[in-house]
Amino acid sequence: MKATTGHIGPGMCVAVMGYGVTGRSAASYCLSSGAKVIVSDSGNEQGFVQQYGDYFWQNNIQYEAGGHSWQFLKQADMVIVSPGIALDSSLVKRLRQKGIPVAGELAVAAPLLRVPVAAITGTNGKTTVTSLLGHILRQAGKKVFVGGNIGIPLLNYLQNGDAEYLVLELSSFQLETAGDFRADIGILLNISPDHIDRHKGFTGYVQAKKNLFSHQRETDVAILYGDDSVCMDGKENLTAELLTFGASPACDAITKGVTVRTERSGKEVLYDLTGTQLATPIGVRNSAAAILAAHRWEVEPEAIRSALSSFRLESHRMQWVGEWNGVTYINDSKATNTGAVIAALEQFDNGVILIAGGKHKGEDYSVLQEVLREKVKALVLLGESAEQIHSAVKNSCSIIMVSSLQEAVTKARTLSEPGDTVLLSPACASFDMFSSYGERGLVFMEIVHALLEEPVHHG
């Protein structure tokens, strides 16, 4: 599908506010649509110019760095905000009061989508379900785009993508600025009460998640975790058809042990996940949600079973290690540069204890400042690069220096609270302490499993 330019085109000046992964995608999309682009970012100006100056010069992009200003942004006809930009900031409010539209990537994309869309949100499990549903569709011979908050931004796809189905992971931040975006299939996996800082309370966070369903039609479907009372609250207000998954016998996809039982065309269908990488309580629940979506799009059970069997959770790249006492542990040892760390952190709302550091590769760590400020509760640093990283990001978040990975995991464990995530995403090579990022990831997982068999002592 080659998208039309929609309401962005020649003669317009579009400001991109926040130049992370989403912001860079938005700028590229607007340029391809013939619009003039200006960029406003809060990152360190010197590092920002070093990284993007040539691109800005080649594309005649004006920019400001080190903060966002009314004087700069008021020249725009429209402002596209990155997910990290708080909508209740005085500057965003002023832009809107002056009649300058402020939108996120989903709002921009909404009128341009021409193929069925499945959108997945929830506090945990979004990436797995998004990847799994994409894998099931591909296994069934479908041409599918998988992206959004995972991998490739949606606006990248709109420039030159070609697919029969879109499968998107969406965060609460993205859904805040979704505009008229509508998903044919909307999936809400769960809602934790801990990701609430940005939304000024739990109610605001829940509402942001449930924005996913606000523009659905009667012909669409909303898939909810039936055992989660917060997910189910307000279900009577849904316009779309409701389908549920969970352990309750009343659910449309019933999970029991390592099986999922559902119906298709009036006949019972059983999916046994024994021997697959999804044969865990969370994996089974995630599978149930993906199965309901695949049934909706007429994928045959045998194709689904084949996909469930062959699905692989990528090692050392956002690899789920476990969850204990409400804290999730993620192995992202493959993230050996700042870009990979930014991409990883952008998958979370907040509440991350980040373990980083290793062998320095010449990275400018100052580019991490904004995402650390927005997402990270505490940064635990180790390795040769620890002092360099500390110096570059010292005002972004709480920082703890340690001397080993064992000490890093121990410290992260004491700092964490239910709803938090401990993430190993080093931004550096591994060779100061390990033979490869793979060895580093394996050691991290071994330490996590060993430590979490012991009682925790906070403080």
319-451: which CATH architecture?
A: Alpha-Beta Complex (3.90)
- What does the pLDDT read at residue 365? 92
Cite the beta strand spans of 181-313 per DSSP E.
185-188, 221-225, 241-246, 253-256, 259-264, 267-272
Model pLDDT for residues 43-82, shown as the tens digit of each residue: 888 888 898 999 999 999 999 999 999 999 999 999 999 8
Question: In the chain, where are the structural domains located?
Answer: 13-103, 107-310, 319-451
CB 14 within 8 Å of CB 8: yes
- Strand 267-272 versus strand 259-264 pairing type: antiparallel
Is the pLDDT at 456 greater than 80? The verdict is no
d(CA 339, CA 79): 24
Write the Ramachandran bin of 134: left for phi over 0, alpha for psi from -120 to 50, otherwise beta: alpha
Is the pLDDT at 382 greater than 90? The verdict is yes
Is the pLDDT at 195 greater than 50? The verdict is no
- What does the pLDDT read at residue 201? 73
Model pLDDT for residues 2-19, shown as the tens digit of each residue: 333 347 989 999 999 999
Average pLDDT of the segment spanning 259-279: 93
Average pLDDT of the segment spanning 209-214: 94
Model pLDDT for residues 408-425, shown as the tens digit of each residue: 999 999 999 999 999 999
d(CA 283, CA 280): 5
Q: How many CB atoms lie within 10 A of CB 231?
A: 23
In this structure, which amino acid lies at residue 400? I
- SS3 for 125? coil
Average pLDDT of the segment spanning 149-167: 89
89 CB contacts (<8 Å, ≥6 apart)? none
423 CB contacts (<8 Å, ≥6 apart)? 330, 332, 344, 345, 348, 352, 353, 354, 355
d(CA 342, CA 355): 13
The sheet that has 398-401: what strands, in order across it? Answer: 319-324, 327-331, 421-424, 352-356, 376-381, 398-401
- Strand 398-401 versus strand 421-424 pairing type: unpaired
Q: How far is CA 205 from CA 123, 173, 211, 236, in A?
A: 10, 9, 10, 20
- What does the pLDDT read at residue 119? 97
CB 122 within 8 Å of CB 282: no
Mean pLDDT is lowest, of 105-109, 363-367, 382-386, for 363-367
Helix axes 281-296, 126-139, angle to 10 degrees: 50
Is the pLDDT at 454 greater than 80? The verdict is no
What's the topology of domain 13-103? Answer: Rossmann fold (3.40.50)
Nearest to 321 by CA among 455, 151, 443: 443
173 CB contacts (<8 Å, ≥6 apart)? 83, 84, 104, 198, 208, 349
- What does the pLDDT read at residue 455? 54
Is the pLDDT at 385 greater than 60? The verdict is yes
Spell out the CATH class of 107-310: alpha beta
d(CA 368, CA 351): 16
Residue with tokens 């204990």: 324
User: What tokens appear for 347 in the block?
Assistant: 């998958």
d(CA 257, CA 271): 11
431 CB contacts (<8 Å, ≥6 apart)? 358, 359
283 CB contacts (<8 Å, ≥6 apart)? 128, 273, 276, 277
Write the DSSP symbol of residue 220: S
